[in-house]
Amino acid sequence: MSEIPKITVDFFSLNFATIAPMIIVIVAALLILCIDLANKHLDKSLYIILAILALLIDLGFVLGFDSDTRGFFDLLLFDGVATLSQVIIIISSIFFMLLYFNKLKFHELNYPEYFALYLFAVAGFQFMVTSDSLILIFVALETSSMALYTMIAMHNRLTAIEAAIKYFTMGALSTAFFAFGSMIFYAQTGSVELSEISQVLTASGFNNYTIVLVGTCFIVAALAFKLSLFPFHLWVADVYEGSTSALAGFLSVVPKIAGFIVALRFFEIFIIHNDKFIEMLLYVIVILTMTIPNVIALLQNDFKRMLAYSSISNAGFAMAAILIGTTQATQSLFLYWIMFFITNLGAFAILWLNRTKNYTENSDDNLKKYKGLIKTSPLIATLMGIFMISLAGLPPFSLFWGKLYLIGSAVNAGHLILAVVMILNSAIAAYYYLKPVVFIFLNEPENDTLKLENSTSIIKFVVITSAIFTIFSIFIIEPLLQIISYYTQISGF
């Protein structure tokens, strides 16, 4: 028997700095749990402030990175894309966290675990974008997903339990797909690192192409669940409907950007080699994801369900950027998602403001509730109108610039059909975004039941901030583009 060689690990080679941002969040989450052990009667506002504080420190650390850094046996990869997406994740998490300063009492918000889970989920997303190792991505994906399932289930309603179970079972399936796909890649290339997988596959000239394809299909399916791409989008509407608006808004923005980064890193392997099959697969997925939920959204009478389908369609738009694969497209992915976040934050925050205490089956966010809102609360109505018009892609509001840059990158890359499909979908989408506008502005109020029961000045602050950014986004596009192009270029996308 030969002796196993002694492994020595130099502490500094681990490069602890790369993990520090996530550690901060996790420690803060544990701290929240410990505080609760000591004193059970603290107000939720303390936990919210602690969480936001942790996220702010986290943000500071993340901003400290400005070049490729690897750590923990190359498990972690802190490149430009990771930094940029972490910044988006953290800032949007802070804003969605602010929404919990609400007035009504909610079951789940009485538990400090809710805020701890929130932070665990954020840490999970941060790990997801900061790695190109399939194993770490897997673990991170699970961390964040588990936290989300629980957070949804904690909402004390029948629809919430249904949503959580649905999300959990589907998520479990996607986890299995991801594990299986990773296994195939490991078997083929002897590595779980995307950069090494890419190198080995390229060197071998995509040896055993069929098996690679099978593995790819599994990973695509897993990512499609997370990104709510067609045909794995079926959970979205129910999950959003079952969650509170604050959580649904979070779900529509933050997990997706983490998923996009994984998809960006993964599909890069194939797109730089002009793999026709994978491109075709993505093409079909993108086009169907944009179109089918869009058509279904036309039929929705519930505001949140409508926004759910709209966010699926928007995920399809952003996914198109990955398909196009040029530098401009990668930049437009980030620009699009930042613009989408700005608008969606406002829209969901207004839904959250309008949350009522009395629960009637399915009446929660029925569009009819918003009839004649312009008469009862003109400011909120106007802002909601602006958010809807921004989602529809009318200039000069935020999402228009995302669409402009994205469609521009499709046109420039010669993907004219894709551009036309995007245009057609924007036109279809305009109809259902107009529906709430019509209800709010053009109908007479039916009953004056709609009151801003859940409103606090902090939520109003969030709404107004996001409205200001939505309206004056034209002035932030140039600096944003410069930041985005700096970070994407240093990581070679």
Q: Which of 96, 168, 387, 405 binds another protein (CB under 8 A)?
A: 405
Stretch that binds another protein, among 134-142, 206-214, 223-231, 432-440 (CB under 8 A): 432-440
Q: Are 303 and 237 in contact (CB under 8 A)?
A: no
Rank residues 21 and 385 by Cβ distance to another protein and give the closer one: 385
Rank residues 349 and 422 by Cβ distance to another protein and give the closer one: 422
Q: Which of 192, 223, 407, 462 binds another protein (CB under 8 A)?
A: 407
Please, which of residues 183-242 interact with another protein by CB under 8 A? none
Rank residues 15 and 382 by Cβ distance to another protein and give the closer one: 382
Identify the burial level of 183 via C-beta atoms within 10 angstroms of its C-beta, where 0-12 means exposed, 13-18 middle and 19 or more buried: middle
Q: Which of 214, 217, 411, 483 binds another protein (CB under 8 A)?
A: 411
Instruction: Report which of 379, 375, 398 is spatially closest to residue 387, judged by C-alpha positions.
Output: 398
- 54 Cα distance to chain centroid: 20
Please, which of residues 445-474 interact with another protein by CB under 8 A? 474
Q: Which of 427, 446, 468, 486 binds another protein (CB under 8 A)?
A: 427
Rank residues 187 and 442 by Cβ distance to another protein and give the closer one: 442
Taking the alpha carbons of 97, 103, 107, 112 in that order, is the dihedral positive or negative?
A: positive
Q: Does 419 bind another protein (CB under 8 A)?
A: yes
Stretch that binds another protein, among 80-88, 270-278, 317-325, 439-447 (CB under 8 A): 439-447
Rank residues 211 and 427 by Cβ distance to another protein and give the closer one: 427
CB of 482 to another protein, least distance (A): 7
Dihedral of the alpha carbons of 161, 220, 245, 102, in degrees to the nearest 10: 100
- 145 Cα distance to chain centroid: 12
Beta pairing class for 76-78 and 69-71? antiparallel
Instruction: Report which of 109, 110, 115, 98 is spatially closest to residue 458, judged by C-alpha positions.
Output: 98
Rank residues 49 and 464 by Cβ distance to another protein and give the closer one: 464
Look at residue 52 and give its three-state secondary structure. Answer: helix
CB of 392 to another protein, least distance (A): 8
Which residue, chain included where needed, has tokens 């420039």? 412
Q: Which of 412, 417, 451, 461 binds another protein (CB under 8 A)?
A: 412
Rank residues 454 and 488 by Cβ distance to another protein and give the closer one: 488
Rank residues 217 and 423 by Cβ distance to another protein and give the closer one: 423
Rank residues 138 and 432 by Cβ distance to another protein and give the closer one: 432
206-224 in b/e burial notation, b at 16+ Cβ within 10 A? Answer: eeeeeebbebbbbbbbbbb
Q: Which of 14, 288, 292, 430 binds another protein (CB under 8 A)?
A: 430
**Per the structure block, which two tokens stand in for 196?**
């090494």
CA atoms within 13 A on the CB side of 35: 20
x-or-dash string of contact with another protein, 67-106, rule CB under 8 A: ----------------------------------------
CB of 478 to another protein, least distance (A): 5
Q: Which of 45, 420, 461, 489 binds another protein (CB under 8 A)?
A: 420
Residues 278, 427: Cα–Cα separation, whole Å = 28
Rank residues 130 and 310 by Cβ distance to another protein and give the closer one: 310
Stretch that binds another protein, among 66-74, 90-98, 420-428, 456-464 (CB under 8 A): 420-428
x-or-dash string of contact with another protein, 271-300, rule CB under 8 A: ------------------------------
Count of beta carbons in the 10 Å neighbourhood of residue 251: 24
**Per the structure block, which two tokens stand in for 422?**
């995007």
Look at residue 366 and give its three-state secondary structure. Answer: strand
Stretch that binds another protein, among 38-46, 76-84, 185-193, 479-487 (CB under 8 A): 479-487
Instruction: Report which of 470, 453, 471, 472 is spatially closest to residue 377, judged by C-alpha positions.
Output: 453
DSSP state of 110: G
Taking 3-state DSSP, the helix, strand and coil percentages for the chain, each rounded to the nearest 5, stand at: 75, 0, 25
CA atoms within 13 A on the CB side of 355: 23
DSSP output for 210-268: HHHHHHHHHHHHHHHHHHT-TTS-TTHHHHHHHS-HHHHHHHHHHHHHHHHHHHHHHHH
Number of residues that bind another protein (CB under 8 A): 33
Distances 349 to 245, 287, 408, 417, 452 between C-alpha atoms, Å: 7, 29, 30, 35, 11
Q: Which of 93, 126, 398, 426 binds another protein (CB under 8 A)?
A: 426
Rank residues 46 and 404 by Cβ distance to another protein and give the closer one: 404
Q: Which of 434, 464, 471, 490 binds another protein (CB under 8 A)?
A: 434
Please, which of residues 356-395 interact with another protein by CB under 8 A? 389, 392, 394-395
Residues that bind another protein (CB under 8 A): 389, 392, 394-396, 401, 404-405, 407-408, 411-412, 416, 419-420, 423, 426-427, 430-431, 434, 437-438, 441-443, 474-475, 477-478, 481-482, 485
